Amino acid sequence: MLSGRRILLIISGGIAAYKSLDLIRRLREQGAAVRCVLTESATQFVTPLSVAALSEHKVYQDLFSLTDEAEMGHIRLSREADLVVVAPASANLIAKMACGLADDLASTALLATDKPVLIAPAMNVFMWNHPATQGNVAALAARGVHRVGPGAGELACGEVGEGRMADVPEIMAAIGRLIGVLPPEAKPLAGRRAIVTSGPTHEPIDPVRFIANRSSGKQGHAVAAALHRLGAEVTLVSGPVTLPPPEGVEIVPVETAAQMLEACLAALPADIAVCAAAVADWRVSNPGAQKHKKTEGGGPPTIALTPNPDILATLSQPGELRPALVVGFAAETELLLQHASAKLARKGCDWIVANDVSPASGTFGGDQNAVHLLTPDTVEAWPRMGKELVAERLAERIAAHFAKPHPTTSEVPA
Ligand code: PMT
């Protein structure tokens, strides 16, 4: 499939470098010519000899090697590839790329290349979540550098969270897409159906007044767009917002929680449900058929409330129609993680994205969000970033979840 394609693989220092040996083997099996550059720290994890044996090429390590420069200068090395892949991409090399540093062969080749670059980050979860790394990754993304992973799980350092280098099949798929040998429809969520809720609900008090909240729909709409970009067929059930529906997404406009639930149930079956809507917990028990009048000497009307159906909890109920992955959001003004993990357990969803919505946070209606992703076993703090980036990252995590082989019934321990 990759016959005649030339890949420059840059291996930087990290325990995940052992996976790069398998990557070289898989690339060679597919017919690609692979040239490898090792950083000095990479040689602590894999030997130049094993890399040379698997790639069947000389391994390049030194910027100032007279023989290397005579045979294949660093400029030629970086230009003669169809794609430059950095796997693993350490926090240090990512930082050098973001700053444009060129103090060794790897960083110099990356600065000199005119070819697409794909990075597969691998590092400790705190290093990955550090605002400096996130800023560097965002800067590279803005410059068109492609990224695959990282995934979440137990890390080599013993900590748990995001930072694992993407698995080799995932990196192979990303390479295939980038050099155009996989059709664009080979998107990781192609063939998956997703339901996303977004925006507020409006619960009528009478024909002219309603109970509502400050949700703008920005976060939910961004999630719908990001899932669509990864190939999912998305139904976006949205309360009243002023945003245009994202391109390629089926939009179902609703007003009340009851209508939102009905639209979500009508959109089943689905593989994925993401409930980002700020649904009113209560509705008016008996909304007036006519506008409440302010009568001379009369007091204010008494408004009785009834609980609304819980859409997230309903979609999470076990059964044939339950989406394989149900993700809720938790909007809190205090004790964020405590309340969010209680919601995760109470509502029966698989993951919950917790965000602070106190007025000082600017989350409602704003363009930025700082979230925590909670699963039953892990809590990850994501740095503050644009709502679109939050959505993109969540969609990638959802795609990685579906890419992982899940245990078959026979493999599940008794
Ligand atoms: O729309 P923006 O201005 O961009 O703001 C984004 C946001 C703050 C609205 C969004 O990021 C967010 O947090 N959405 C969830 C808001 C919310 O209602 O949270 P909650 O903690 O009250 O509810 C928990 C979960 O249950 C949510 O997934 C919610 O969609 C769901 N729910 C709640 C009540 C209900 N009756 N049905 C539900 O499905």
> Residue 394 is part of a domain; what is its CATH number?
3.40.50.10300
pLDDT at 32 over 90: yes
pLDDT at 127 over 60: yes
The preferred substitution site among 201, 260, 279, 336 for testing ligand 1, maximizing ligand atoms within 8 Å of CB, is: 279
Residue 297 forms part of a structural domain? no
Residues 204 and 72 in one domain: no
Residues 133 and 266 in one domain: no
Tens of pLDDT along 256-288? Answer: 999 999 999 999 999 999 999 999 999 999 999
Going by pLDDT thresholds of 50, 70 and 90, the confidence category of residue 411 is very low
Query: What is the rounded CA–CA span in Å between residue 214 and residue 201?
Result: 10
Residues 212 and 141 in one domain: no
pLDDT at 396 over 60: yes
Of the two residues 234 and 393, the one the predictor is more confident about is 234
Residues 30 and 114 in one domain: yes
Of the two residues 334 and 73, the one the predictor is more confident about is 334
The preferred substitution site among 275, 333, 364, 388 for testing ligand 1, maximizing ligand atoms within 8 Å of CB, is: 275
Domain total of the chain = 2
Residue 137 forms part of a structural domain? yes
Residue 392 dihedral angles phi and psi, to the nearest 5°: -65, -45
Residue 105 forms part of a structural domain? yes
Q: For ligand 1, atom 6, name the residue with the nearest CA.
A: 219
Residues 156 and 97 in one domain: yes
The CATH number of whichever domain residue 126 belongs to comes to 3.40.50.1950
User: Left if phi > 0, otherwise alpha if psi is -120 to 50, otherwise beta: which for 392?
Assistant: alpha
Residue among 33, 51, 37, 24 nearest 172 (CA): 24
Residues 142 and 226 in one domain: no
**Residues in the chain, total:** 414
Mean pLDDT of 354-369: 94
Mean pLDDT of 223-239: 94
- Of 186, 216, 249, which residue constitutes the final position of a domain? 186
Residue 412 forms part of a structural domain? no
How much is the pLDDT for 409? Answer: 36
List of E strands, 167-293: 193-198, 203-204, 210-211, 233-238, 250-253, 272-275, 282-284
How much is the pLDDT for 281? Answer: 97
How much is the pLDDT for 282? Answer: 98
CB neighbours of residue 289 within 10 Å = 7
Alpha carbon distances (Å) from 270 to 233, 252, 274: 9, 15, 11
What contacts 202, CB < 8 A, 6 or more positions away?
210, 211, 212, 239, 240, 255, 256, 280
How much is the pLDDT for 71? Answer: 60
- Of 186, 221, 245, which residue constitutes the final position of a domain? 186
Residue 291 forms part of a structural domain? no
Whether 157 is a known active-site residue: answer yes
Residue 408 forms part of a structural domain? no
Query: What is the rounded CA–CA span in Å between residue 21 and residue 13?
Result: 13
Whether the CB of 271 sits within 6 Å of ligand 1? no
pLDDT at 406 over 60: no
What contacts 104, CB < 8 A, 6 or more positions away?
39, 40, 63
Residue 295 forms part of a structural domain? no
What contacts 217, CB < 8 A, 6 or more positions away?
198, 199, 200, 238, 239, 241, 243
* Domain containing residue 48: 6-186
Residues 135 and 151 in one domain: yes
How much is the pLDDT for 407? Answer: 45
- Of 142, 168, 186, which residue constitutes the final position of a domain? 186
Residues 19 and 162 in one domain: yes
